[in-house]
Chains A and B, each alone.
Chain A
């Protein structure tokens, strides 16, 4: 290991040597390194968010034929900085009727839930917070943190629209956690480990190639988990005023804003890590910082796709959302699990090409069957169109017409 190939670990080793030479015992030196490492790793995402908010606003602006932020600095790049300075000096209004503890805890929890995911993401072969041996379970568990934040915000605000938003958020987030967890089983099956670094290390063939349907299910479920368009029912402005965060002002509202934008980027990072080979690429094993660059490029592509979806999709209704989750995604992911297990056992792992082709055919067939069933089910269930009879006719009341 030398500085050119692995600058981060070299710095850590130099620092550890310096601590030991001061007479600090090795376990305390490890503890100090942990605190510094965790502090840096948790601060970076907060700073990245400043850039993310600007980039997303700019992209959405271009999608909607606007300019987006363009006043502060070149291309409006410092807009978020200005917003942040402004939001720091805004009054934090706490409604008199609010339940203080959940009300104040909610913004903290929703940011912490997103930040905590960064602890297990491998940024390079040797750049990782910690390769937890139950990484995927940790991911699912910590993902529930943010949901708790929404629930506390909605309940603590003492506001009917906020409460409705929170109900919707819970119904949506827990529902979409089911197909997400099942689609995560498939990378675990292929890699034989729950650790994120092991999942990346075992991706000689990217898992999106081995199981595109699992990747698709995971992508859709994560968009729903983040609560963005087309699944942004929890903050549907036209129905719920603003959703769970109506009563918040100042930086407490800002924290929800940060959590939202950061979560979108974080799930892109997770998608890249689990399905797109993470840091893997040419020469990435020798030069860990190169792996970091690869990871960043892939993540930005996935993130760009999710922004594109946000900018182009209308919001769906809550019954459509539940229909789509429980009657399409969940059976699809369960079927995928069963067929992948069978095909994976039928073709031994050594014959990579045959295995890829077999799994691809199976995935394609599954999608076709799902599409066929979906068409059949959704065409049999047509909502009655309610029309009013023209005035002067025999019946003046409202009549149901099934089209």
Chain B
């Protein structure tokens, strides 16, 4: 059980190491001739104007919030899904009520117009 996670740890370390080593190798092999114009931001070919890191559309926040609701919901449903073979019809109905509440939430968000992209 613990050795499973040891393997995952080693694997993640190697997965991070491989691209890092490749980029490090390329950094050694490649020429380094920076100059003032080359190091400017490319953007779309023209000179960049104004600040990039500005406030952005609130729409993205709303979608992130809706996503959070549904993601937490699925996390709650996974244990139920694992136990699905063993639970009785009552357990299934309970889960359905849970999903129905969330469907109601989806309908609410929908009616509020939060799912419109404009």
Chain A contact residues, CB within 8 Å of chain B:
30-31, 34-35, 37-39, 41-43, 46, 87-98, 104, 107-109, 111-112, 115-116, 119, 129-133, 136-138, 155, 157-161, 163, 167, 170-171, 174-175, 177-178, 181-182, 185-186, 188-189, 192-194, 241, 246-247, 250-252, 255, 258, 318-319, 322-323, 326-327, 330-331, 334, 337-338, 341-342, 344-345, 349
Secondary structure of the B contact surface, majority rule: helix
Q: Is the CB of A112 within 8 A of B12?
A: yes
Q: Is the CB of B30 within 8 A of A92?
A: yes
Q: Is the CB of B78 within 8 A of A96?
A: no
Partner of A342, one of B15, B42, B43, B92: B92
Given A112-B12, A327-B115, A97-B30 contact (CB < 8 Å): no
* Whole-angstrom CA separation of A251 from B22 in the bound complex: 8
Distance in Å from the Cβ of B4 to the closest Cβ of chain A? Answer: 5
B: contact size bracket: 35 or more
Distance in Å from the Cβ of A145 to the closest Cβ of chain B? Answer: 9
Q: Is the CB of A97 within 8 A of B41?
A: yes
Which residues from A are CB-within-8-Å of B115? Answer: 322-323, 326-327
Partner of B85, one of A107, A112, A192: A192
Given A177-B71, A341-B96, A34-B23 contact (CB < 8 Å): no
Q: Is the CB of B18 within 8 A of A167?
A: no
Which residues from A are CB-within-8-Å of B34? Answer: 93
What would 11 A/B residue contacts be, using CB atoms closer than 8 Å?
A38-B10, A43-B18, A94-B39, A116-B15, A160-B48, A181-B74, A189-B81, A251-B30, A322-B63, A323-B115, A326-B106
Q: Is the CB of B71 within 8 A of A42?
A: no
Q: Is the CB of B27 within 8 A of A95?
A: no
Q: Closest residue to B27 on the A side, CB-wise?
A: A92
